[in-house]
Amino acid sequence: MIQEIINATINGIPIKVPAGTSILQAAQGVQVKIPTLCKHKDLLPTAACGLCIVNIAGSPKKPRACCTPIEEGMEITTHDSDLTDIRRSTLELILSNHPNECLTCGRNGNCELQSLAGDFGLRQDLIPRYVRELPCDDSTGSIILDFRKCIKCGRCVQVCQDVQNVWALSFLERGINNRMAPAGDILLNESPCIRCGQCSAHCPTGAIVESDEVTTVWDALHDENKYCTVQVAPSVRVALGEAFGLPPGTNLTKKIYAALRRLGFKAVFDTNFSADLTIMEEASEFIERFVHGKGEIPLITSCCPAWVDYMEKRFSDFIPNFSTAKSPQQMMGVMTKTYYAEKVNMDPAKIYQVSIMPCTAKKYELERTDEMYASGYKDVDVALTTREFARLIKQSGIDFLNLPDEEADSILGEYSGAGTIFGYTGGVMEAALRTAYFKVTGKNLQQEAIDIQPVRGLEGVKEAEIDVEGTKVRVAVAHAIGNVEKVLNKVRAARDSGEETPYHFIEVMACPGGCIGGGGQPYGIDNEVRMARIRGLEADDRDCKLRFSHENPEIQAAYKDFLGEPLSEKAEALLHTKYVARPSYSK
């Protein structure tokens, strides 16, 4: 289809854009920034904030740039004294309905409302402040809702309902009482919330923030009785830099190791190692089911705790299909408190494990079921999001960007390229297939076939057929959890009609783009940022000497010295878990 090209002008600058382009998008193309607090690149315009109004020659109205498509011959003015005045008045109104708590707010310094107020030079409150007193909701332990700070932009509700299809957040009431809240005015942890944190990643203010546990970590680090260990997740290394002004995708693995060591961690491990371990278990599990027919097909990945929660609440009929392998975070925890403890001859009771995660749901996973205490202790003690980790570094006085590179500690520090790509959508699938291929055929994929392209990229559902020496393995990859329903419905339909399953292996990650787009990552997410972070991890994979989990020597050692082999009794006891159906509403 040939796309119609529209001619118009913005502030006198001629533009040519495809039909359907909004004024806001077109303005960005000619270096004009129109302020907005509600429009987010990931989302459809909600038209809520009213700041992006513009003038169009010949029209008495001031349409919103976010949702007005450019029409042929439009002469658009985006900035003049009248528009600025109206924007200032609207901002004043928004501020008059917002608590004056910037200094103690979770978004201090990176709040979209705060920046705009600064840009517009608002110096005093002209209108009396009215803020409805509503208590914070910290019931999930992952995300804190501070309803008073909400500006009703609608981003979180759209992300939660339309992108994630979770429907934990909603708008209640109307008018001045219109508010974002869990459906039916219950607590968030009584709602269908899966703690993916996408609401917090999209919130322009401090109304939704991660539950901050930085001080807990400080306390542990200062506790002489605790032997602090740490793991850092794949996707953190390519996003953390953004909190320090670096472009997205910059790989900071070795500076992160150095920073963690300076913070006082006695052992610095890498979740990439346990990602390799997860692959060993999961690929074996896949072969058991696919080749030996022991267990349900398709096998569905389970390393995303938000997805696990979602499945238990909405798709519990797929419990038998779930990989019982624990997530890399939990495998690392249990391995630290058993295998490592044994090796260094340390009482596991003294070992304290911190994980640095891109994710708010990882906080929930720590206590998800009894199996999260497989070492006899809480396997991972506390999970920090990337955003919290950035604050921890800043509080410690470490000149992060100028740190020398350092390495992770053995025996849980080495990783393969397959481990690192766990951080983006399709990565778990790709890593598992690399190892499964080897396990089935006894040889590795050819160099040029290692990158399994069809499962890469930001398409919501990706499907592929992988040829394993004549056997076709049909796989599906879904991310942004709203997309999972389509995939599972296909499986259900086949199952109900007794037809052959459309897929053998399904990977699901709750966040758009996978963990690199996690709810706990630095602010400012959009597809451009997601792709940059993915490119960062892809490069890390390519640069790795080892591209296969089964070739990771520390993995081989762990099996040889401690676990035996994948799916051994010990591995089952330590590295696997169970699932139960849960109600969407606990109230």
Binding site for another protein (CB under 8 A): 45-51, 53, 62-64, 67-69, 85-87, 89-90, 93-94, 96-97, 126-128, 130, 151-152, 154, 161, 167-178, 182-185, 192, 285, 288, 295, 316-317, 319-320, 322, 324, 567, 572, 576, 578-585
Q: Shortest approach of another protein to residue 116 CB, angstroms?
A: 12
The residue (of 27 and 240) whose beta carbon lies closer to another protein is 27
Q: Shortest approach of another protein to residue 13 CB, angstroms?
A: 23
323 counts as catalytic: yes
Q: Which ranges of 382-449 does DSSP label H, i.e. alpha helix? A: 386-396, 417-420, 427-441
Q: Residue 357 in 3-state DSSP?
A: strand
| Catalytic, out of 507, 515, 538, 551 | 515
The DSSP code for 506 is: E
End-to-end CA distance of the chain: 51
The residue (of 160 and 510) whose beta carbon lies closer to another protein is 160
For residues 402 and 396, is the Cβ–Cβ distance under 8 A? Answer: no
The residue (of 312 and 554) whose beta carbon lies closer to another protein is 312
Q: Shortest approach of another protein to residue 449 CB, angstroms?
A: 30
**Which residues fall within 8 angstroms of residue 296, CB to CB, at 6 or more apart?**
289, 320, 321
List the Cα angle 141/142/144 in 5-degree steps: 85
CA distance linking residue 128 with residue 209, whole number of Å: 27
The residue (of 31 and 130) whose beta carbon lies closer to another protein is 130
| Catalytic, out of 190, 365, 414, 538 | 365
Q: Shortest approach of another protein to residue 313 CB, angstroms?
A: 9
| Catalytic, out of 228, 303, 359, 511 | 303
Torsions phi, psi of 40, nearest 5? -125, 140
**CA 350 distance to own-chain centroid:** 31
102 counts as catalytic: no
| Catalytic, out of 211, 323, 375, 416 | 323
CA distance linking residue 516 with residue 410, whole number of Å: 25
| Catalytic, out of 112, 281, 285, 551 | 285
For residues 484 and 477, is the Cβ–Cβ distance under 8 A? Answer: no
CA distance linking residue 558 with residue 412, whole number of Å: 9
285 counts as catalytic: yes
Structure tokens at 344: 């260094």
Amino acid at 425: T
The residue (of 34 and 393) whose beta carbon lies closer to another protein is 34
Which residue, chain included where needed, has tokens 């599972």? 488
586 counts as catalytic: no
Q: Are strands 13-18 and 5-10 parallel, antiparallel or unpaired?
A: antiparallel
The residue (of 371 and 526) whose beta carbon lies closer to another protein is 371
362 counts as catalytic: yes
The residue (of 260 and 571) whose beta carbon lies closer to another protein is 571
DSSP code string of 444-472 = PPPGGGSS-GGG-SS-SEEEEEEEETTEE
Q: Shortest approach of another protein to residue 248 CB, angstroms?
A: 30
142 counts as catalytic: no
| Catalytic, out of 75, 92, 371, 459 | 371
| Catalytic, out of 255, 326, 362, 462 | 362
For residues 201 and 210, is the Cβ–Cβ distance under 8 A? Answer: no
For residues 57 and 75, is the Cβ–Cβ distance under 8 A? Answer: yes
The residue (of 57 and 93) whose beta carbon lies closer to another protein is 93
The residue (of 109 and 175) whose beta carbon lies closer to another protein is 175
The residue (of 172 and 440) whose beta carbon lies closer to another protein is 172
The DSSP code for 67 is: T
Amino acid at 374: A
Q: Are strands 55-56 and 179-182 parallel, antiparallel or unpaired?
A: unpaired
Q: Shortest approach of another protein to residue 318 CB, angstroms?
A: 8
Q: Shortest approach of another protein to residue 332 CB, angstroms?
A: 21
Question: What Å distances lie between residue 349 and 339, 376, 452, CA to CA?
Answer: 13, 9, 42
Q: Shortest approach of another protein to residue 221 CB, angstroms?
A: 38
What strands, in cross-sheet order, belong to the sheet with 5-10?
A: 13-18, 5-10, 75-77, 55-56
Q: Shortest approach of another protein to residue 192 CB, angstroms?
A: 8
Nearest of 137, 199, 131, 188 to residue 162 by alpha carbon: 199
Torsions phi, psi of 201, nearest 5? -70, -20
SS (H, E, C) 518-551: CCCCCCCCCHHHHHHHHHHHHHHHHHCCCCCHHH
**Which residues fall within 8 angstroms of residue 267, CB to CB, at 6 or more apart?**
227, 229, 230, 336, 340, 409, 412
Which residue, chain included where needed, has tokens 């050819």? 446
Q: Shortest approach of another protein to residue 237 CB, angstroms?
A: 33
The residues that are catalytic are 282, 285, 303, 323, 362, 365, 371, 515
